[in-house]
Amino acid sequence: MYRVVTPETDEDFEKYFTFRWQMLRKPWNYPLGSEKDEYEQVSHHRMIVGPDKQVLAIGRLHFNTSEEAQMRHIAVSNDQQGKGLGKLIVSALEGVARHEGVERIVTNSRELSMPFFKSCGYVVAGESPTELGSLTRQLMIKQLTELNAIMIHPKWCQALQKLWHEAIPISEQMGIKLFQYSGRTLETRSSLVKNMNPHNTMFAGSIYSQAVLTGWGMIHLHLKEKELSGDIVLSEGDIKYTKPITVRPRAVCNIESMIEKFDLLAKGKRCPVKLQVDIFDDDVPVGVFKGEYWVIPEKSVS
């Protein structure tokens, strides 16, 4: 399972900067130390680690002004590229910017990485100073809006949000909203105030409902990715709570947890899907939901 984390210890930062040097400086024969600059102490750093805590991707954000943040040093391990990890890092850094009330994010992109940033919603705004003495770059900008927080397929996500609120009115009353969809990860958030029990924590039933909808939404969006359709029903769900939610309810479903047989659906047969949804209180893990769903071909529904 991949995790986006903030480096905190000296060991974390050593791995983080070594990875940055290996990916972004060593190929041009620059020495260790050249990967750092004067903004490190005032920047927000994120990295993705794998099951054995190896660094798989990194990125950094610092603030130019109160309205503008700058994203730099996005890098993904060569053997992990194409799995959506770059977008996860960008998403995490954009979340920091949004939390601080930033209006736009800028990045200086080389030609090779421009298609990636365009897929994340950035547009070319002009030329930037060269990097490492000779590498030409373009200034790219993203204006932060509520809609583009979803990252990719915003129209699909907007339609899914509307479907939930219209077909399941209680989801709107609970304040359940799609926060982000990267193609590999779906995150929902809900209102603690609207789901608070007499102990000033979130109702267990509300946590379960949010987890079920998050898994349902992940399946729905991946069916659209594969140009398939069907009715999604929950057949079995199990949730384990480890801590109460007292700050900010979050539910996250990663594609790595999904076991599906969409090839059956393509043949007009029922398709089983198993997945896991991780529950967080802000950034603290507080529970795990494991669900078994069925996707039923529309023509099979009587």
Contact 180, 159 (CB under 8 A): no
Beta bridge partners of 293: 234, 273
Inter-CA distances, 295 with 161, 209, 278, Å: 19, 19, 22
Tell me how far the alpha carbon of residue 109 is from its chain's centroid: 21
Contact 276, 212 (CB under 8 A): no
Contact 105, 70 (CB under 8 A): yes
pLDDT digits (tens, 9 = 90+) for 84-125: 899 889 988 998 888 788 889 999 998 889 999 998 889 999
Compute the chain's Rg from CA coordinates.
21
Judged by DSSP in three states, 115 sits in helix
pLDDT digits (tens, 9 = 90+) for 167-226: 888 898 899 999 888 888 899 999 998 999 999 999 999 999 999 999 999 999 999 999
Span 235-262, mean pLDDT? Answer: 93
**What is the pTM assigned to this prediction?**
0.59
Q: CA-CA-CA-CA torsion for 154, 157, 159, 165, nearest 10 degrees?
A: -140
Residue 54 above 80 pLDDT? yes
- In this prediction, residue 134 carries a pLDDT of 58
